[in-house]
Chains A and B, each alone.
Chain A
Amino acid sequence: MENLLQQLVNGIAWGSIYALVALGYTMVYGVLRLINFAHGEVYMVGAMTGFYAAHALGVADRPSALGLAATLLAAMATCAALGATIERVAYRPLRRAPRLAPLITAIGVSLLLQNAGQLVLGADPKFFPPLVASREAWRVGSLAVSNIQLTVMATAVVLMAGLELVVMRTRVGRAMRAVAQDADAAALMGVPVDRIIQLTFVLGSALAGAAGIQVGLSNPKIDPLMGLMPGLKAFVAAVLGGIGSIPGAMVGGLLLGVVETLVAGYLSSTYRDAIAFVILIAILLYRPTGLFGSAQAEKV
């Protein structure tokens, strides 16, 4: 029983990271109907930025709340800028192009970032600085929860709540939801569609950057190829929750993290990566709109 609880805790902490990345996918898909393949690499850039920022700011050796906050901000800001740039350079020119074109471009951007990362940052794995001193925060019997796991979960919750606030309670958020529903109608109502799309990318990428920092804290080995798999799995999480739905992405991420951990712990960790895609096939077979999604009528 304790084993199960421990696995659940592990799964939720791990899933929080998926949730943060999944949000970016779901938001972009909502407004553009585009799978932003490069999103996983934005997450990687977040982790890398955190690494360099921590060293540059001199907080790499001494864990501190201020150091963590500063690094987090630096990563989120950098990723926000990166996301906006990718949108402007690679996706916007193809807004009116056939469906396949931006998809192919997205893959191109993803691979470019991976390989440029290997070239510029070096292929060797780097050790993410311990911005939070690792300690056991809580122990009940053999159930151990580290303070880092708590930090990760807490940060994720705060950021997701913040996003939900922005999307649901602000004018900007309303504009985003309008564009997601019908971009042309929104434009007719005076919504600056290009600006809103850019904002969507900015927010999603900032969250991915935060996820990069979280993973740096809890699994402190980072390298330029670290974004590929988590990126794909986060997309599956978004589909699981219902693509286009923000609460869906959050729930999907947590659920995927838990399932993955349980499979790795009780079945075989061989299938850890595979399980995400099995879930994808299953969801597409039985409930394509996901847990929280609603069926979208195809307009002719």
Chain B
Amino acid sequence: MVRTARRAGGIAVAAVALLACGSGHSGGTAKDAIRVGHFASLTGDTATFGRSADRGIRMAVEELNAAGGVLGRPIEVITEDDRSVTEEARSAAQKLIQRDQVVALLGEVASSRSLAAAPEAQRAGVPMISPASTNPRVTEVGDHVFRTCFIDPFQGAVMARFAHDDLRAKRVAVLFDFKQDYSVGLAEFFRKTFEQLGGEIVADERYTSGDIEFRAQLTTIRSAAPDAIFVPGYYTEVGLIAKQARELGITVPLLGGDGWDSEKTLEIGGPAVEGDYFSTHYAADSDDPRVQDFVKRYQAKNGGVPDAMAALGYDAARILADSLARAGKTDGPALRDAIASTKDFAGVTGRITIDPQRNAVKDAVVLKIDGGRFRYHRTVSAQ
């Protein structure tokens, strides 16, 4: 009797599980919508970045559709979750291309996942725009792969020059996230440029994203007595690093890249991040009414100030729409050419031009953390 009950229970559980496997296909859509695919990490370790990018993209698409869409048709964004897993990015891209027949792909934030998916986009002749992957190799995959953000060589050099010229630092320590391609790349180019300028890297320490304890590395850095510390990591760790550095008595400024660009840096870092600098795409306190407008609208819709991923996603979506309009049609080669000829696009993350290597040429801004807020410090133009 008990055994039968248990068996029945087991079968019921299995049945529910299989039923739940059901169809995950997105529901009915307007017949003439232009379908765009976004593959992102909505779950998993980098969920926070994927979701930000998705929010930015969706907001852009909503605004565009409210204004009549593109080529007289609404845009439909289909988002596929790759769960922060590399090969899932490839199958997410495949699914979007093959099953959903998207005309273009947006994604991904992480360079490793962009690298996994890009060959599929290239093979299928579907243009792909990465909003935030910074590894130079992503766009080298093929002529259908673009990006609308800086690449590591540029941003690394920006902060190296800033440290050397503005802060007059001669000795800098580096503390980077060796599990994240972004951080590794940025650190590498910072080191190269800084040493070229005559500076000295006095300490080179690492951590892993997800770590919460940095005192060991910071103690080693402290004994090297640097003039500044370059921390090209993500906001998920930066706040803590700054806090622990101050607790150990380190007073020199910390420098970073656009991975710092989020409210969480201020929230977690608190007074510890005062006086630190980082490079990013735009300043939320910029006078540019477009930026102000974007920040306000994003806040109203999603609550909270947009971070770099959200802003980049927003711009990537809008550049795609703009390219569609310029191409006049949705087929691959025409769209690809239109994206490639993007010039001086007025995005919230700057004036964007796509160069012959399919990377974005745009200015970087250096922000200073002052009085508990990000404040515009200076612009570094793209060379």
Interfacial residues, chain A to chain B (CB-CB below 8 A)? 3, 6-7, 10-11, 14, 118, 123-125, 127, 130, 134, 136, 139, 142, 144, 146, 148, 215, 219-221, 225-226, 229, 260-266, 268-270, 272-273
Would you list which residues of chain B between 349 and 381 have a CB under 8 Å from chain A?
none
What CA separation (Å) do A3 and B97 show in the bound complex? Answer: 56
Interfacial residues, chain B to chain A (CB-CB below 8 A)? 43, 45, 47-48, 51, 178, 205-208, 210-213, 215-217, 219-220, 222-223, 236-237, 239-240, 243-244, 247-249, 264, 267-268, 270
Given the known inter-chain contacts A118-B47, A272-B211, please indicate yes or no for A142 contacting B216, CB distance below 8 A.
no
Interface CB pairs A-B, < 8 A, 18: A10-B215, A118-B47, A123-B43, A124-B47, A134-B243, A136-B249, A144-B249, A148-B247, A215-B212, A221-B236, A221-B268, A229-B210, A264-B216, A266-B220, A268-B206, A269-B207, A269-B217, A273-B208
Given contacts A7-B216, A123-B48, A270-B206, could you give 11 more A-B pairs where the C-beta distance is less than 8 Å? A3-B220, A6-B215, A14-B213, A125-B48, A136-B247, A142-B249, A221-B240, A225-B45, A261-B216, A262-B216, A264-B217
Q: Are the C-beta atoms of B216 and A265 separated by less than 8 Å?
A: yes
What CA separation (Å) do A263 and B220 show in the bound complex? Answer: 11
Rounded to whole Å, the gap between the CB of A15 and the closest CB of chain B is 11
Instruction: Report B-chain residues with C-beta under 8 Å of the C-beta of A136.
Output: 247, 249
Per DSSP, chain B at the interface is helix
Instruction: Report B-chain residues with C-beta under 8 Å of the C-beta of A127.
Output: 239, 264, 267-268
Instruction: Report A-chain residues with C-beta under 8 Å of the C-beta of B244.
Output: 219
Instruction: Report B-chain residues with C-beta under 8 Å of the C-beta of A273.
Output: 208
Q: Are the C-beta atoms of B47 and A3 separated by less than 8 Å?
A: no
Instruction: Report A-chain residues with C-beta under 8 Å of the C-beta of B206.
Output: 268-270
What CA separation (Å) do A264 and B215 show in the bound complex? Answer: 9
What CA separation (Å) do A260 and B215 show in the bound complex? Answer: 11
Residue among A14, A124, A136 having the largest count of chain B Cβ atoms under 10 Å: A124
Rounded to whole Å, the gap between the CB of A208 and the closest CB of chain B is 16
**Among all A-B residue pairs, the 10 with the closest Cβ atoms:** A264-B216, A123-B47, A265-B216, A219-B212, A10-B215, A261-B216, A127-B268, A124-B48, A146-B247, A144-B249
Instruction: Report A-chain residues with C-beta under 8 Å of the C-beta of B267.
Output: 127
Q: Are the C-beta atoms of A225 and B247 separated by less than 8 Å?
A: no
Q: Are the C-beta atoms of A269 and B210 separated by less than 8 Å?
A: no
Rounded to whole Å, the gap between the CB of A274 and the closest CB of chain B is 10
Instruction: Report B-chain residues with C-beta under 8 Å of the C-beta of A139.
Output: 249
What CA separation (Å) do A229 and B179 show in the bound complex? Answer: 15
> Which of B208, B210, B219, B264 is the one whose CB lies under 8 Å from A3?
B219
Instruction: Report B-chain residues with C-beta under 8 Å of the C-beta of A3.
Output: 219-220, 223
What CA separation (Å) do A229 and B219 show in the bound complex? Answer: 23
Rounded to whole Å, the gap between the CB of A144 and the closest CB of chain B is 5
Instruction: Report B-chain residues with C-beta under 8 Å of the C-beta of A215.
Output: 212
Given the known inter-chain contacts A118-B43, A124-B264, A268-B206, please indicate yes or no for A219 contacting B222, CB distance below 8 A.
no
Instruction: Report A-chain residues with C-beta under 8 Å of the C-beta of B178.
Output: 270
> Which of B211, B215, B268, B270 is the one whose CB lies under 8 Å from A261?
B215
Residue among B212, B217, B237 having the largest count of chain A Cβ atoms under 10 Å: B212
Given the known inter-chain contacts A123-B43, A269-B217, A270-B178, please indicate yes or no for A220 contacting B268, CB distance below 8 A.
yes
Residue among B205, B213, B248, B264 having the largest count of chain A Cβ atoms under 10 Å: B213
What CA separation (Å) do A54 and B207 show in the bound complex? Answer: 30
What CA separation (Å) do A273 and B51 show in the bound complex? Answer: 28
Instruction: Report A-chain residues with C-beta under 8 Å of the C-beta of B240.
Output: 219-221
Instruction: Report B-chain residues with C-beta under 8 Å of the C-beta of A221.
Output: 212, 236-237, 239-240, 268
Rounded to whole Å, the gap between the CB of B195 and the closest CB of chain A is 21
Q: Name the CB-closest residue of A to B51.
A: A123
> Which of A11, A125, A269 is the one whose CB lies under 8 Å from B205?
A269
Q: Are the C-beta atoms of A144 and B247 separated by less than 8 Å?
A: yes
Instruction: Report A-chain residues with C-beta under 8 Å of the C-beta of B51.
Output: 123
Given the known inter-chain contacts A124-B264, A136-B249, please indicate yes or no for A10 contacting B216, CB distance below 8 A.
yes
Instruction: Report A-chain residues with C-beta under 8 Å of the C-beta of B236.
Output: 125, 221
Q: Name the CB-closest residue of A to B267.
A: A127
Q: Are the C-beta atoms of A265 and B268 separated by less than 8 Å?
A: no
What CA separation (Å) do A220 and B240 show in the bound complex? Answer: 7
Instruction: Report A-chain residues with C-beta under 8 Å of the C-beta of B48.
Output: 123-125
Instruction: Report A-chain residues with C-beta under 8 Å of the C-beta of B215.
Output: 6, 10, 14, 261
Q: Name the CB-closest residue of B to A264.
A: B216
Instruction: Report B-chain residues with C-beta under 8 Å of the C-beta of A10.
Output: 213, 215-216, 219
Q: Name the CB-closest residue of A to B46.
A: A123
What CA separation (Å) do A3 and B215 show in the bound complex? Answer: 11
What CA separation (Å) do A221 and B207 show in the bound complex? Answer: 15
Given the known inter-chain contacts A123-B48, A124-B264, A125-B268, please indicate yes or no for A219 contacting B213, CB distance below 8 A.
yes
Rounded to whole Å, the gap between the CB of A128 and the closest CB of chain B is 9
